[in-house]
Amino acid sequence: MKELTVKYQQFDSWKSLSDGDQSLVEAAYEISKNAYAPYSKFLVGAAVLLENGEVILGSNQENIAFPSGLCAERTALFYAGANFPHLKVMKIAIVAVGDLVPLDKILSPCGGCRQVMLETEVRQKAPYEVILVSQNETTIVFSAASDLLPFAF
Ligand code: THU
């Protein structure tokens, strides 16, 4: 039998993070207000820090033809890839807001987003931090996107 272990840091609140990381989380909260989520009422914000200090923001954008919508993480990462293909991603902070978001549950990116997050890492040949914040502020930090997708395609 083999065993897989994933290491991550956990904080009671994102307010225990470094000043820079707190700013990234605040930016994610701010952009979550732009989510277009009339169907799920699940507002997600993602803030991507690039190596030049620029922060790229994304929120989930839904559509009545359900598969046509896109998650916040991919909105931000695809914008970064489309506009700054040569700049490495250093961090991504992801938050979720809404009455339907369980208070004590960490929002963890969907499988499709994990695959995109991982490929960003593979493409830039460098890991980046993933910061996940739940509605009760509990925060977990992974040091690499690959930690969220073992046995990736
Ligand atoms: N969603 C995200 O934006 N990111 C995630 O990590 C999970 C889910 C969005 C997709 C959809 O608009 C809504 O949240 C409910 O699934």
DSSP 105: P
Q: 47 by DSSP, 3-state: which?
A: strand
What is the average per-residue pLDDT within 19-40?
98
52, 79 contact by CB (below 8 A): no
Token reading at 22? 């707190």
The Å distance, Cα 72 to ligand 1 centre, comes to 7
- Per-residue pLDDT of 98-129, as tens digits, reads 888 778 788 899 999 999 999 999 999 999 99
- Per-residue pLDDT of 58-96, as tens digits, reads 999 999 999 999 999 999 999 999 999 999 999 999 999
Q: CA-CA distances (angstroms) from residue 32 to 62, 94, 124?
A: 13, 9, 26
Please give the model's pTM, rounded to 2 decimal places.
0.96
Strands laid side by side in the 89-97 sheet: 9-11, 139-142, 129-133, 89-97, 43-50, 55-59
Tell me, yes or no, if 73 is annotated catalytic: yes
What is the average per-residue pLDDT within 129-136?
95
For a substitution probing ligand 1, which of 36, 40, 43, 60 has the most ligand atoms within 8 Å of its CB? Answer: 60
pLDDT band at 15; cut points 50, 70, 90:
very high
Rounded to whole angstroms, how far apart are CA atoms 11 and 148?
18
Average pLDDT, the chain: 96
The Å distance, Cα 98 to ligand 1 centre, comes to 11
The Å distance, Cα 1 to ligand 1 centre, comes to 34
Q: Choose the catalytic residue: 62, 73, 121, 129.
A: 73
Rounded to whole angstroms, how far apart are CA atoms 138 and 128?
20
Give residues (CB < 6 A) around ligand 1.
37, 40, 42, 44, 60, 62, 69, 71-73, 107, 109-110, 113
Q: CA-CA distances (angstroms) from residue 86 to 80, 81, 102, 103, 147?
A: 9, 8, 37, 37, 23
